[in-house]
Amino acid sequence: MTRLIIHAPNIHQGGGAVLLSELLAVIPAHISAVALLDARYSLPASLDSNLLVQRVEPTVLSRFRAEVSLRLLVGESDSVLCFGNLPPLFRLKAAPTVFLQNRYLVDKQASLCALPLKSRIRLHIEKIWLRNCRKNASHFVVQTHSMQRLTDACLGVQSSCLPFVPATVNSFSQVQSDQTLRQFDFVYVASGDAHKNHFALIEAWRLLSAKGLFPSLALTLSPELAPELCRRVEREVVTGGLRIHNLGYLAHTRLLEIYRVSGALIYPSSFESFGLPLIEARQAGLPVLAPELDYVRDVIDPHETFDPRSPVSIARAVMRYLKGRSPPHEIHSAQSWLNHVIDEGLL
């Protein structure tokens, strides 16, 4: 009897966990399914009893045992989906499809320098794993054309671009314009990972405050996973009077509610494999301010764009959106410049 085997021992949070939950929820009742899942992953309550779950602890030894278990478990007639970016460590009787979501693994331009040492070591190991074991997979599936180009170039394969989003996102109704519902001017749904670029966003908010602009901003940072960043937000709120509200880590259903009470999504991430919040916000009817980068244009056309490396550029995009466009500095001739410097007593 053909079974569906889903191998996801390293997915437990973020967009990957959201998509995994959606996938597990739509497995047909008549299909026998087995899922090898991270012990930290919260299994959805409403799942059919035809799904057999095996938990994998987040340790090197447990992950290795999971690879051995997968090799022993898979038969020739089984269908295998590796949902955690990596192909099997061992060749299986049935070659699997790999769902590749982590751009760090295939983007040679993505710097690891800002990441914690533990994350850098893990990603280096996973890059070696991906490159050396890619022949253990029959196919790679990605979510955007940018990821497809990177994957094909990095691995020498022909991947497929097959994006999907949770059903709740597709069923969004447009946000009403009733201002009484508005709690936040902007929202940024993101973890505290370095490439999410929170420090540039906070600096942009500080620049806005210097111009007398204090838009409210909602963040979704976990104090446990990003303590330094959370402390920086708290300092800026206290010392600079910035209207930044950290809501902490939120379940996906709660995130959807936050979209409904926000004015716009601002998304300064320097790169993404998919950028699910961009789609969620657009489906919720929110304007989106985002970088002028391929990963953004892969999924939406933003309302305003900016250079994610520049807090000044981010702040100017916010001002344009708020209709507070500041004029560029006047360009002087040499004579008028000298006159201006003399008049202002600068000489």
Q: What is the CATH number of domain 3-164?
A: 3.40.50.2000
| Total-model pTM | 0.79
Superfamily designation of domain 172-321: Glycogen Phosphorylase B; (3.40.50.2000)
Angstrom distance (rounded) from CA 188 to CA 216: 11
Going across the sheet that includes 262-266, the strands are: 244-246, 217-219, 184-188, 262-266, 288-291, 304-306
Residue in 144, 9, 146, 186 with CA at minimum distance from that of residue 83:
9
Domain boundaries, the chain: 3-164, 172-321
Q: What are phi and psi of 82, to 5 degrees?
A: -90, 110
Domain 3-164 and domain 172-321 have a common topology = yes
pLDDT tens figures, 241-280: 999 999 998 887 888 889 989 999 999 999 999 999 999 9
Angstrom distance (rounded) from CA 241 to CA 191: 23
CB atoms closer than 10 angstroms to residue 211: 11
pLDDT tens figures, 89-104: 999 999 899 999 999 9
Least reliable range by pLDDT among 92-96, 123-127, 273-277, 330-334: 330-334
Residues 277-316: b if buried by 16+ CB within 10 A, e if exposed: bbbbbbbbebebbbbebebbbbbbebbbbbbbeebebbbb
